[in-house]
Amino acid sequence: NVTACVAISNIVKSSLGPVGLDKMLVDQVGDVTVTNDGATILKLLEVEHPAAKLLVELAEQQDEEVGDGTTSVVILAAELLRRANELVRSRIHPTTVIAGYRLAMREACKYIKSTLATPIDKLGREALVNTAKTSLSSKILGSAESDLFANMAVDAVMATKSSRKEDGEMYPLSSIHMLKAQGKSASESQIMQGYVLNAPRASQSMPTSVSPAKIALLGFDLRRAKMKMGVTVTLNNPEEINKIQEKEIDLTAQRIQMVLNAGANVVFTSKGIDDSALKYFSSGNAIACRRVTMKDMRRIAKATGATLQLNMADLNGDESFDPSMLGHAEEVYEDKIRDDPVIMIKGPKLQPINTVLLRGPNEMMCDEMQRSLIDATSVVKRLLDSNMVVAGGGAIEAAVSTHLENFATMLGSREQLAIAEFAEALLVIPRTLAV
């Protein structure tokens, strides 16, 4: 088990720190991923061994909770396991090792909080930028563009500050939308105020801009109402077919009219819109977009206060659309990025939202830039939430290691051996960085 965990650790060890190397991974389909992110590497490895799988899950958990430091936790966990294995071989019971490790962990956390952590208020914005730079230093953005992207990460997180503490979060990262556009250099990436939706207007005859915008989010089809699977209709008279087709179109027209009558002038649907139905939006001076992803729909709903409507049925069994379901924004207009039309949503009512536009030469580069920036924004958010910062570059691990060695000598029980090994294991981070 320990050998498997150490093998996993050795795979990601060479990607830690500013001199760390990127890994190129090819999956079964032949898709190539070039990345430096520990969690991404381990996710693509398809590990079978149960003990090694725990390390993969540990990296995923770290990625969800903190957003960065995935490589460090894997290396540290593997080193702790290796040293614990040596203690067990020296006839020290595993329970004693676990008790010693737990004691060392509590003491280390106490020491970091009381002595090593510095409140961020005293250090100001510069500390936030430097922390983002530290996160980016091992990534593809860490060389030439670290200043630009570190400031971009800080600005993006600061812009999402919410007055209402939603889900216990003052800085919801879901408010930062990232859009990748191939072409130009990475240094031409920028933050755009508002939400950029990567979808064009459904018809060129629609207005290019509406202000103020009332947004309807629909989760159903605005195409001709079709029969359900397995339902057949037998007709004796061919003239009836035309009537049925007209009725199908009328049903869709009625639904669109209900939405427009409720005051909506921007309509996003996750399904399709019939070409024959687009004229109703054009005549109603409304913008409509089809096949918007559910992820985009949820983000727009959160920012504008709109409610996603999955069908139009009401309690009476009829169809209706309530104006309270609409979301509000200052302006919605069509813009162009590269040669692709996009929809811009400016000034949403409930929550400030911004879009980070990432430019890069190819898809692999853009994907890695996105992963790097997500890590950096997660670190800045964590810093603002906890209001504490510690030194980087392995300094903190070395300081805690020295403290634990002194602490171990004060104990008379056998746990002191485990604490001493814990202290030694912490030095694996500075050693790896110093290679």
pLDDT digits (tens, 9 = 90+) for 163-182: 655 555 677 777 788 888 88
What is residue 227's predicted lDDT score, i.e. its pLDDT?
67
- For residue 141, pLDDT over 60 is answered with yes
Q: How far apart are CA 127 and CA 113, in angstroms?
A: 18
Residues 6+ away with beta carbon under 8 Å from 183:
338, 359, 361
pLDDT tier for residue 294 given thresholds of 50, 70 and 90: confident
Q: What is the mean pLDDT of the chain?
A: 84
The residue from 35, 71, 269, 432 that is catalytic is 71
What is residue 170's predicted lDDT score, i.e. its pLDDT?
76
What is residue 143's predicted lDDT score, i.e. its pLDDT?
66
Averaged pLDDT, 183-189: 81
The residue from 33, 35, 40, 70 that is catalytic is 70
Catalytic residue check, 252:
no
Averaged pLDDT, 31-60: 85
Averaged pLDDT, 58-80: 87
Sign of the CA dihedral running 187, 121, 376, 41:
positive
User: Which one has a higher pLDDT value, 240 or 195?
Assistant: 195
The beta strands (E) that lie in 237-363 are given as 266-269, 287-289, 308-309, 327-337, 340-348, 354-360
Q: For the residues of 47-89, what is the DSSP string, one character each?
A: ---HHHHHHHHHHHHHHHHTSS-HHHHHHHHHHHHHHHHHHHH
What is residue 225's predicted lDDT score, i.e. its pLDDT?
67
What is residue 142's predicted lDDT score, i.e. its pLDDT?
64
Averaged pLDDT, 336-353: 83
The beta strands (E) that lie in 204-352 are given as 209-210, 213-218, 266-269, 287-289, 308-309, 327-337, 340-348
The residue from 131, 304, 375, 432 that is catalytic is 375
Catalytic residue check, 375:
yes
What is residue 305's predicted lDDT score, i.e. its pLDDT?
86
- Phi, psi (5° rounding) for residue 360? -165, 165
Q: Which residues pair with 335 in a beta bridge?
A: 342
Averaged pLDDT, 357-378: 85
- For residue 144, pLDDT over 70 is answered with no
- For residue 93, pLDDT over 80 is answered with yes
Instruction: Confirm if 339 and 179 have CB atoms less than 8 A apart.
Output: no
- For residue 366, pLDDT over 60 is answered with yes
User: Which one has a higher pLDDT value, 229 or 362?
Assistant: 362
The residue from 37, 274, 296, 367 that is catalytic is 37
- Phi, psi (5° rounding) for residue 297? -60, -45
Catalytic residue check, 296:
no
Catalytic residue check, 134:
no
pLDDT digits (tens, 9 = 90+) for 387-423: 888 887 888 889 999 988 888 888 878 888 888 888 9
Side-chain-side CA neighbours of 268 within 13 Å: the count stands at: 29
